[in-house]
Chain A
Amino acid sequence: MPQVIIDGKKYQFEGQPGLLQFCLDHGIELPHFCYHPSMSIPANCRQCLVDIGAPARDRASGEIQVNEDGEPVIQYFPKLQTSCSHVIADGQVIHTARTSEKVKDAQCDTLEFLLINHPLDCPICDQAGHCPLQIQAYKYGPEGSRFEFKKVHKPKKVKLGPRVVLDAERCINCTRCVRFTDEISKSGQLTIIERGVKNYPITPPGVSFDEPYSMNVIDICPVGALTSVDFRFQARIWEMASTPSITTTNAKGSNCYLWVRDNLVLRITPRDNPDVNEFWLPDEDRLTYQRFNEDRPAGPSVDQNTEQTSWDTSFQRVVDLLGHHGQNMLFIGSAYATVEDNWMLLQLAEAVGGQVAGFIPHVDIGHGDGWLRTDDRTPNGQGCERLGIPPLDLPLWRARIESGEFDAMYVLEDDPVASGLCSLESLVDMDVILHYYNTTNQTLPATRVALPAAMVAETIGTYVNESGRAQRVVPAKVIKGTNRTLMMQMGLSRADRHGTPFDRWHNESHYINCKPSWEIIPILLEKLGVRDVPKGPRKMMNHLSEANPAFLGATYEAMGLGGVQLSSMEMEVMG
């Protein structure tokens, strides 16, 4: 197998890997700014320079020349090469800053150049703390600056579009953002204008940077030049803790991080997953974080009364209603809820002799773009169908409900009124039990018992995306009440394990009085006298992964942070 020697150590390789990516893959850090693995290589930042040599060959015979010790004679390139644009070949010898003074000096020189016109406003910059320029300047840069002149001044606050603001002075012209709009989102809405040191990216005249993926440029910007209109100056990076999660805006299940401070979700950024969303996230997935913080319920309510209702009284009322209506109760699952929640609903319906009719589909034809946005606006439609819960035919069921066929309705984490399943008037004579997220839920005025449910940021559970990939989520913030499963997971799930000292998640600030549906329903089942209900979502999925072929192998261990691809449903029918 061909091999290269990097800093004196031999590495084997296959194919024609780029040197920079090869080094990064093997844990050899090389400073860089413009390189991004999914975009073209302009080699314009000149930060990743390395010294490269190759075995010298005899001109006449083509044989590799060897010295007295039998070692090949290494001939070095006359100039330092950018590792991002260099393709490795057999026998090459590469020196990084660790073994070459020349490379070390060159990298230091480039950083000195980058910093001369870069404003040193790190204390007020949103990027500070996770800024590649800041980090690499400390690691590889010069001690001070020899620049004694006025820095170049450029536009300071340019609103490129509705969601992205540019500070042109901070820009180091890596062109990542321009390449993103050219090569990845293909909107072509950004370009570089001016020349030389006055360069900066901007939209062409008359164009607004409003494409549905615009906020990705904020993540790939290696400095704080591009910032989010929404998140600008809201929090310092070290005050928040990030938790790996997935977005629930659509059926793609893009992987993301939820950034939380004091139990408030402050922003959502993409998490790399080559099988789902690579490095990207649509804007609509990011801007939904407020629904985790705002309009959340104060607690359970019976007959619209929250103040004098405890969880116990509301559970008792639900059990009474279940016993009273039994078979004549309409159970409705939810494509917003996890697989575990829906499975528990199936158990509950079975326990009282009823059936889960289906889930309310939320399909917005034409919304999808074949990439990270889908027509289906729910995260778990596929999970429901795999459990045997079909999408409801809305006109048909609307007619049945309005004809007064049912005396009662049990709705899991959805809004039948707003989604058009039934009108508020038709529910007046029905006993409605509702698991809900936000107080904006339009079905609330008709509920007999309303139970606040934990949202994706607060729960543990599994979602199955449109292509049959099962992905689990972990809690990013704490809810009121004692749930040992959630509390233990909170201590483990964050990227920095226990949260930052600035994130007071263990204080009781911003606790939401809600419970995950997988906790609520087993309590009801117990009160109904059902035994052997699996306790906790992990055990539920363990059970499902063995008992239900549609979830074969989808244990929490197998899913990990990247998810697991389930076999397609058609094949199981045939098998």
Chain B
Amino acid sequence: MTKAGDWKSYQRVLLPPVKNLHHLNIYRDQGGYEALRRVLSEKSPQDVIGEMKRSGLRGRGGAGFPTGLKWSFMPPVDPDKPRYLCCNADESEPGTFKDRQLMEYNPHLLFEGILIACYAMSMRACYLYVRGEYASWITLMEQELSKAYEAKLVGENMMGTQQHMDIIIHKGAGAYICGEETSLMESLEGKRAYPRIKPPFPAQSGIWGAPTTINNVETLACAPLIMERGGGWFAGIGAEKNPGPLLYGISGHVNRPGVYEYPTGMLITDLLEIAGGMRGGKKLKALVPGGASVPVLRADMIDGVTMDIESLKESGSMLGTAGMLFLDEDTDMVAFLRRVARFYHHESCGQCTPCREGTGWMENLITRIDDGEGNLRDLDLLLDLCDQMEGRTVCALADAAAWPVRNTINRFRDDFERRCRPSSWAVNA
């Protein structure tokens, strides 16, 4: 028995197998917006936050912060000051594509979750910041949202109550850095998306200086389920310390890549089986378990490892966004790292010195190695650069750029050394 329990009989809840669920009428036929109605009429905001805490839900955006706790950080209501919810749908980490599925197939679940969160934290508006490349799903969500407005599910006197909440969909312009919560806010305010220094945290000073809570799409989509079936039910799914349903975005050299909904705590080997095994019967070489920035795992490191925060931490990686990238035995790890480094070089916002300069330097070095021009000492220099960047910038992009470099080199050192020329520097005798 794994942490995920009897996953073979698992019934999908985030993306249930209902055709055309994105239509409002079908969503309501399935009992949609009932959780919201019950919350508005029966529960106090404290009850909602209490239920969220009981559920043990941890943020699905990558950092894994307990959601109920985050909601309780909001300062007491000040009638003179607005407060905002912000939904981070600027999903741009390479290998991560799960929020997209929710927005495409079950947008009303997200809207309902947003409204529950707004009620729990006494907010009147939510900004839904979607990456601009998701153009067709933005159009779809806008259509569905206007239907929800017509049906008085959102807006003034929603659901026949005194409540008034608005959802504003905002299109990003395609920068990875906008997925960082504070730079997302800067971008939303119309400024250049440079991450802000923390403290102050968003709960004290977020969008336009007002108290703000920012959550991931998948996190908010869990809220209606928790309200409907209770925090206890939610806490009983999957891994004990990191419970709930989870969207696994599986890509790479597998037979059936895609987004799969299963409980947390699935064995990696089970997930590989679900995805149809490795393409062409090849052997697994490496796995990136949670989006491009998390440390890569060697095939021999994944035995018995389950997809939850604790287990992956133990194995030397992170859950991140559960965007799993399986790489087969033919993969050139140098070329892989070159592509990853190129991404972070391209996406560094350029605010802080170590990240602005370091990401480019790293790409230069890895490119040189990949082109067969590298020296052995370049590998040590790359590891040095990781040390010089990590933890020394305003946001975590420098960390995200350094982790894959450090771990890919450390865990596949042979692959790199084979491509390097012997050092032209004399070894000190």
Choose from B175, B350, B361, B387 the contact partner of A116 (Cβ within 8 Å): B361
State whether the Cβ of A85 lies closer than 8 Å to any Cβ in chain B: yes
Using CB atoms, name the residue of chain B closest to A110. B353
Q: Cβ of B348 and Cβ of A79 under 8 Å apart? A: no
B388's partner among A109, A195, A199 (CB-CB below 8 A) is A109
Are B381 and A44 interface neighbours, CB within 8 A?
A: no
* Chain A: minimal CB distance from B182 (Å): 12
Assess whether A197 is in contact with B356, with CB atoms less than 8 Å apart. Answer: yes
- Is B416 located at the chain interface by the 8 A CB criterion? no
Residues of B within 8 A of A260 (CB): none
**Max count, chain B CB within 10 A of own CB: residue among A79, A106, A113:** A113
Cβ < 8 Å to A, chain B residues 360-378:
360-361, 364, 368
Q: How distant is A43 from chain B, measured CB to nearest CB, in Å? A: 5
Q: Name which of B56-64, B140-148, B391-399 contacts chain A.
A: B391-399
A147 to chain B: which residues have CB within 8 Å? 361
Contacts A43-B197, A146-B381, A149-B361 given; does A80 touch B353 at CB 8 Å: no
**B91-123 vs A: 1/0 string, CB under 8 Å?**
000000000000000000000000000000000
Is A192 in contact with B192, judged by CB distance below 8 angstroms? yes
Any chain B CB within 8 A of the CB of A196? yes
- B residues 175-213 in Cβ contact with A at 8 Å: 175, 192, 194, 197
Contact check, B392 vs A195: say whether CB atoms are below 8 A apart: no
Q: Is B392 a contact partner of A110 (Cβ separation < 8 A)?
A: yes
**CB proximity of B348 to chain A, nearest CB, Å:** 4
Q: Are A196 and B345 in contact (CB under 8 A)?
A: yes
Q: Is the CB of B350 within 8 A of A195?
A: yes
B219 within 8 A of A: no
Asked whether, in the complex, the Cβ of B352 is within 8 Å of the Cβ of A44, the reply is: yes
Query: In the complex, which of the residues B354, B356, B394 contacts A196, with contact meaning CB atoms closer than 8 Å?
Result: B356
Task: For the complex, give the distance between the alpha carbons of A219 and B359 in Å.
Answer: 30
Separation of A79 and B356 alpha carbons in the complex (Å): 19
**Residue A524 at the B interface, CB < 8 A?**
no
B8 to chain A minimum Cβ distance, whole angstroms, is 42
Interface class of chain B by DSSP: helix
Which of A112, A114, A195 is B348 in contact with, Cβ under 8 Å? A195
A49 proximal to B (CB < 8 A):
yes
Give residues 12-66 of A contacting B (CB, 8 Å): 41-47, 49
Q: Residue B289 at the A interface, CB < 8 A?
A: no
Given known A196-B360, A197-B360, contact A46–B353 (CB-CB < 8 A): yes
Inter-chain contact B357/A46, CB cutoff 8 Å: no
Q: Distance in Å from the Cβ of B314 to the closest Cβ of chain A?
A: 20
Does B20 count as interface, using CB distance less than 8 angstroms?
no
> A147 to B388, alpha carbons, bound, how many Å?
14
**Residue from B358, B359, B381 whose CB has the most chain A CB atoms within 10 Å:** B358
Question: Complex: how many Å from CA A45 to CA B348?
Answer: 14
B417 within 8 A of A: no
Question: Does A277 interact with chain B (Cβ within 8 Å)?
Answer: no
In whole Å, how far is B338's beta carbon from the nearest beta carbon of chain A? 14
A197 touches B350 (CB 8 A): yes
Question: CA A106 – CA B387 in complex, angstroms?
Answer: 9
Q: Does B351 contact A (CB under 8 A)?
A: yes
Q: Are A79 and B392 in contact (CB under 8 A)?
A: yes
B85 interfacial contact with A, CB 8 Å: no
Q: Which of B378-412 contact A (CB under 8 A)?
A: 381, 387-388, 391-394
Closest A residue to B367 by beta carbon equals A149
Given A80-B392, A191-B192, also A117-B357 (CB < 8 A): yes
Q: Answer whether residue A198 sits at the interface, using C-beta atoms and an 8 A cutoff.
A: yes
Assess whether A120 is interfacial by the CB under 8 Å rule.
no
Which of chain B's residues has its CB closest to A108's CB?
B388
Which residues of chain B come closer than 8 Å to A194, judged between CB atoms?
350
The range of chain A's interface size is: 35 or more
In the complex, are the beta carbons of A196 and B353 less than 8 A apart?
A: no
B346 at the interface (CB under 8 A from A): yes
A43, A79, A195 — most chain B CB neighbours (10 Å): A195
Which residues of A are found within 8 Å of B392, using beta-carbon distances?
Answer: 46, 49, 79-80, 106, 109-110
State the Cβ distance, B425 to closest chain A Cβ, in Å: 11
Q: Are A198 and B350 in contact (CB under 8 A)?
A: yes
B251 to chain A, nearest CB (A): 26
B200 to chain A, nearest CB (A): 11
Closest to B398 in A: A46
B391 adjacent to A173 (CB under 8 Å): no
Also in contact, A195 and B349, with CB within 8 A (given A46-B354, A109-B354): yes
> When chains A and B are docked, how far (Å) is the Cα of A110 from the Cα of B352?
10
Select from chain A the residue with minimum beta-carbon distance to B198.
A85
Q: Is A152 an interface residue (CB 8 A)?
A: yes
The B-contacting residues of A in range 171-198, CB under 8 angstroms, are 172-173, 191-192, 194-198
Query: Does the CB pair B381–A196 fall under 8 Å?
Result: no
Complex alpha-carbon distance, A110 and B387, angstroms: 11
Contacting residues of chain A (44-101) with chain B, CB-CB under 8 angstroms: 44-47, 49, 78-80, 82, 85
Contact partners of A80 in chain B: CB under 8 A: 391-392
A192 CA to B351 CA, complexed, in Å? 10
Quick check: is B347 within 8 A (CB to CB) of the other chain? yes
A113-149 CB mask vs B (1 if < 8 Å, else 0) is: 1101100000000000000000000000000001101
Task: Tell which of B192, B351, B387, B388 has the most Cβ of chain A within 10 Å.
Answer: B351
Is A197 a contact of B357 with CB atoms below 8 Å? yes
Q: How far is the CB of B178 from chain A (nearest CB, A)?
A: 11
Chain A residue contacts of B345, Cβ below 8 A: 196-197
State the CA gap A191–B193 with chains docked (Å).
Answer: 12
Task: Sample 13 A-B pairs with CB under 8 A, ordered by A number.
Answer: A41-B197, A45-B352, A109-B354, A114-B357, A117-B357, A117-B360, A147-B361, A149-B364, A152-B360, A191-B192, A196-B350, A197-B348, A199-B356
Chain A residues at the B interface, C-beta cutoff of 8 Å: 41-47, 49, 78-80, 82, 85, 106, 109-110, 112-114, 116-117, 146-147, 149, 152, 172-173, 191-192, 194-199
Chain B interface (Cβ < 8 Å from any Cβ of A): 175, 192, 194, 197, 345-354, 356-361, 364, 368, 381, 387-388, 391-394
Q: Which 4 A-B pairs have the closest CB atoms?
A: A113-B357, A199-B350, A109-B388, A196-B348
Q: A109-B387, A173-B356, A197-B348 are in contact. List 13 more A-B contacts (CB 8 A).
A: A44-B352, A44-B353, A45-B352, A78-B391, A79-B392, A109-B354, A149-B361, A149-B364, A149-B368, A191-B192, A194-B350, A195-B346, A197-B357
